[in-house]
Amino acid sequence: MLYRVGAIARPAQHVIELSKPRPLVIWHGLGDSYASSGILQFQSLIDKIHPGIFIHSVFIDPDQKEDQRAGFYGNVDDQVELVAQQLKDVRELSRGFDAIGFSQGGQFLRAYVERYNDPPIHNLITFGSQHMGVSDIPPCKPYDLLCQLAKKAARAGVYSEWAQQNLVQAQYYRDPAQLPKYLESNHFLTSINNEVQPALRNRTYAERLANLDNLILVLFAQDRTVVPKESSWFGSYAPPEDSKKKKKNGEGIGGGGPDHADEETTMPMRKQPLYIEDWIGLRTLDERGSVVLASCEGEHMHLSTECWQPFVKKYVGSRS
């Protein structure tokens, strides 16, 4: 049986392929792996919402233990490049896909959008991601030796050349009290946020991000892992002098982690220079009505059904 598109006859099977939900890519967070029980369960729940959806879970290494380790140790620029090639090689993704990034996986997917986006992401959902970095190294779970070793090494010299090349969390560590050091030493977050000299800013980053259909930024209301939690909405602690001025004027939207509560004010997304001057296309996207600032109750990555399901229903699996 055949049907016609213009003057070209195609098999009826192609009709079924075109009617499938748009594919989905997931990039897991710190301490997880691409095929963990949690990721597999999440995929099965999505399949119940969008039957037949193709889901690809990003991996740095096919060995689960090594993939988990890569969340702590490695060069993020190299990892994003590896994933870009990985996604390009997956035939089912060739027409584009939606994407979900958990925690640090969210800013890594944004880096993919800005630097590659071939094949393209349509809707990008990030849960508890550190888009403006963190001002404290995330805490470790009890008995998590891998995390504890990475955290100890980062604290010993987060802006050292070795840390910036080999410790994942150090590559998005952004201390407002040490902004000159951060701008001088960091090679990943400064790049994808275009926090570089004006002449060096990559305009293509802004063009690609602005081409997203939607950017959904989910913050966890009781997040004590991402410091400040408003980083999930492109917020950051204000530099010390700005923080003092804002406190005097009663400005700011509150503090973040336990070490900073009542000591810092937070600069929201629309006050950030990268937004005001549209360094990465975020303002263009927002003014088009395509940036969604959402929050979920709970601590970091405590994903209740009420939290994630509405976003998956609305922004994943379009058949159009």
CA separation for the pair 307, 303 (Å, rounded): 6
* pLDDT reported for residue 138: 67
Q: Is 206 exposed, middle or buried (0-12, 13-18, 19+ CB in 10 A)?
A: buried
Strands (E), the chain: 2-5, 8-11, 24-27, 55-57, 97-102, 121-127, 214-220, 236-237, 266-267, 291-296
DSSP 3-state of 127: strand
Q: Which helix (H) or strand (E) holds 82?
A: helix 76-88
* pLDDT reported for residue 318: 92
pLDDT value at 17 more than 70: no
Residue 2 within a domain: no
Point out the least confidently predicted range of 41-55, 88-102, 228-242.
228-242
Residue 7 within a domain: no
* pLDDT reported for residue 177: 87
pLDDT grade, residue 150 (50/70/90)?
A: confident
Residue 21 within a domain: no
pLDDT tens digits for range 22-66: 999 999 999 999 999 999 999 999 999 999 999 999 999 999 999
* pLDDT reported for residue 260: 41
* pLDDT reported for residue 259: 39
State mean pLDDT over 109-122. 98
Task: Note the pTM of the prediction, 2 decimals.
Answer: 0.86
Query: Is the distance from CB of 173 to CB of 185 less than 8 angstroms?
Result: no
Per-residue exposure over 119-155, b if at least 16 CB sit within 10 Å of its own CB, e if not: bebbbbbbbbbbbbbbbbbbbbeeeeeebeebbebbe
pLDDT value at 125 more than 60: yes
pLDDT grade, residue 146 (50/70/90)?
A: confident
Residue 309 within a domain: no
More confident residue, 136 or 50: 50
Residue 8 within a domain: no
pLDDT tens digits for range 298-320: 999 999 999 999 999 999 999 75
Number of folded domains that form the chain: 1
CA separation for the pair 134, 142 (Å, rounded): 21
Residue 318 within a domain: no
Residue 108 within a domain: yes
pLDDT value at 253 more than 70: no
Helix/strand/coil (H, E, C) string of 270-281? HHCHHHHCCCCC
Residue 61 within a domain: yes
CA angle 271, 233, 30 (to 5 degrees): 140
Closest CA to 232 of 310, 102, 121, 127: 127
Other Cβ atoms within 10 Å of 214 Cβ, number? 18
Q: Which residues participate in catalysis according to the annotation? A: 103, 223, 300
User: Which residue range forms the structural domain that includes residue 177?
Assistant: 27-35+42-302
State mean pLDDT over 85-104. 98
Averaged pLDDT score across all residues of the chain: 88
**CATH no. for residue 199?**
3.40.50.1820
Query: Is the distance from CB of 264 to CB of 256 less than 8 angstroms?
Result: yes
pLDDT tens digits for range 203-220: 999 999 999 999 999 999
Query: Is the distance from CB of 233 to CB of 254 less than 8 angstroms?
Result: no
pLDDT value at 266 more than 90: yes
* pLDDT reported for residue 242: 58
Other Cβ atoms within 10 Å of 193 Cβ, number? 28
